[in-house]
Structure 1
């Protein structure tokens, strides 16, 4: 049993490690082809990460990415591909900011209201795709992609000054108005800045995610349905209900993805609010193999690449190197995981063959005796 667990651990780590090695190697090849030093950019990024303010930026960004990746991972465990996390996150952040700016409540209640609104909006937007899949058989990939585009248009309409938005004097930006201080989530002051308080909430949700999936009946039903919908249904699990529930939970977590930034720094939603967070979450969930610990380190890695590459152009290197690396990581993850899976199958078949051969020898020796 110990040997099996050891093999499974090695195979589990082999996929992401192989993907990272390949991604870094291919990025170095791109640099060589471009007549650039293939090592210096990495050294510059590492040196940049030694500054405490950059470390704070990395950690805060990792909190946002962690929530987005958890939302994606919940769908993955159910064999659902929720590509709509980005739309769910942005729409939830905007409406949560609108509600937060329009009321004044005692601190904890104000924050709680913003959190609940964000979760509800994210769950509602993801639930549309869930209902379409369970009632009409529409692929969640197609519906969530379309819902991303619809969310972008809805946000652009709602943030107009004649609707729910405001235009600060002398600015071309549009915002939802500033949330009162009672709706801010307190952070932790350190030498390099302020670590968003909601970042710690994000990481704590990873523990909740692990517990629910691995220590509850609901988590077992969810994983069983993801592994085989027909088998789960035959054992008494309502597969359609589980699909809809998984999409709702995934959307609710996606809705929380914007809160570290909203409650910790901007206190308003504007046209400059980050986009593409949901798609980055897909990369992180894949790299972390849907495991909360793996997702944590993957979120830190992607945040590290983004924040430390910002100053590369000052040394003659394009900061888009980090973007190239992220794209290569996605490709490498898919390929490496398939290679590791095939190797694991061959290894398992080999072990079964060895055990059968050993048993056969034992039987022959018993007959001869």
Structure 2
């Protein structure tokens, strides 16, 4: 049993570590072919990692990536592919920003105001993902198709509402438009970091809390057990009395609720308004982070930190004369390598378990022959 446990740990590590090593080798080859010394690139990234501003920005990016990854991972546990996290979080961020910046909110106590904003974002995200769940359980529509379509609808809906005639206003001194700024009472103060003018998002602790709750629900509750059991085998879950349709709805609602939180660290911590330059694409990064972290709360945290650092190290590469696109190549190769590596590890694990069963049966047969 001990040997099997060690093997399980090694197999769990070989896929992500192997993918990172392979991605590094591919990028080194590309750099060498384009006349950029790989060691100079590594030196530039190592220098960037020592800058306080890079560390703060990497942690802030990782906070949002982690929330997006947890939202995706909840669906993955049910074998549901929620590609709509991007639309869910942007619609939630815009509507919650409009609520938090409304004039009547100025008289609400700060803690209650922040709580109302966060809850509103979760409800909007859950409602938007609930549409995909409803289509799946009532009409059998694949969540992949419905969430992609809902992403497009959310994009145009946000564009429609983000208008001075509706929920937005012109930003003074620029051509940008955004929701009414959230006043100080509705903001979440950042955390100072020595040597950096940037601050760590105060809602980094919200991401930690979400990770703890995610682990607890999946590992220590009946609901989490039923969720994972349904994802592994719907027929077995039905035989055990679990309603598959109910689990589909709940998993999509929870996934959307967490997706609604993705924009909260930046909205309440730095931008204080939803505008046209609010970062898109965080939901798709969440898919990559969830894959790299194997849907495990700690694994996704490490993957989010890696992704955040790579994004912020790209600027340092530009300054050093190295094309920043090498970071995008590395990220793409990592995702592709992880998918391939996990499949290879899965096949090896199955063959290894079959060999173990065969040896055990052989020993049992030998003992029976001796005793006979």
Q: What interval of TM-score do these two structures reach, taking the shorter chain for normalisation?
A: over 0.9
| Counterpart in the other structure of 1:206 | 211
What is the CA distance between 1:329 and its match in structure 2? 0.9
Q: CA deviation at 1:174?
A: 1.0
TM-score, with normalisation over the residues of structure 1?
0.97
Distance 2:239 2:359 in 1: 35
Deviation of the 1:355 alpha carbon: 1.8
- In the alignment, the residues of structure 2 paired with residue 217 and residue 341 of structure 1 have an alpha-carbon distance, to the nearest angstrom, of 27
Q: Within 1, Cα distance between the matches of 2:144 and 2:33?
A: 36
Question: 2:124: which partner in 1?
Answer: 121
Which residue is equivalent to 1:19? 19
Contact 1:96–1:115 (Cα < 8 Å) also in 2: yes
Structure 2 Cα separation of the partners of residues 182 and 6 of structure 1: 52
Mapped pair 1:33 → 2:33: yes
Q: Does the Cα contact within 8 Å between 1:66 and 1:203 map onto a contact in 2?
A: no
**Mapped partners of 1:262, 1:182: distance in 2:** 13
Is the counterpart of residue 109 in structure 1 residue 112 in structure 2?
yes
Indicate the residue corresponding to 2:314 in structure 1: 309
Structure 2 Cα separation of the partners of residues 25 and 337 of structure 1? 19
Equivalent residue runs for 1:1-369 within 5 Å: 1-102=1-102, 103-104=105-106, 105-191=108-194, 192=196, 193-367=198-372
Partners in 1 of 2:316 and 2:190 — Cα distance?
A: 26
Residue 33 of structure 1: how far off its partner (Å):
2.4
Aligned length: 367
**Which deviates more from structure 2 when the two are superposed, residues 16-25 or residues 129-138?**
16-25
Q: 1: distance between equivalents of 2:167 and 2:190?
A: 28
* Structure 2 CA distance for aligned equivalents of residues 170 and 194 of structure 1: 24
Provide the C-alpha distance between the structure 2 equivalents of 1:42 and 1:73, rounded to a whole number of angstroms. Answer: 31
Residue-by-residue CA offset, 1:41-89 (whole Å, 9 max, x unaligned): 1221121010111111111111110000000000000100000001101
Query: Please, which moves more after superposition, 221-230 or 296-305?
Result: 221-230
Shift of the alpha carbon at 1:40? 2.0
Measure, in 1, the Cα distance between the counterparts of 2:282 and 2:371.
64
Distance 1:330 1:147 in 2: 24
Residue 258 (structure 1) shift: 0.5
How far apart are the structure 2 equivalents of 1:240 and 1:39? Answer: 53
Over aligned residues, Cα RMSD in angstroms?
1.1
Cα drift, residue 252 of structure 1: 0.3
In the TM superposition, what whole-angstrom CA distance separates every residue of 1:1-48 from its partner, at most 9, and x where no partner exists? 322222211111111111111111111122222222123212211210
Shift of 1:203: 1.5
Give me the whole-angstrom Cα distance separating, in 2, the residues matched to 1:152 and 1:318.
Answer: 31
Of 312-321 and 132-141, deviating more is 312-321
In the alignment, structure 2 segments of 5+ residues that lack a partner are: none
Q: 1:237 Cα shift?
A: 0.7
- What is the SS of the residue equivalent to 2:101? helix
Q: TM-score, normalised by structure 2?
A: 0.96
Cα distance in 2, alignment partners of residues 366 and 77 from structure 1 = 46
Rounded Cα–Cα distance in structure 1 between residues aligned with 2:221 and 2:55: 36
Shift of 1:364: 2.7
Corresponding residue SS for 1:166: strand
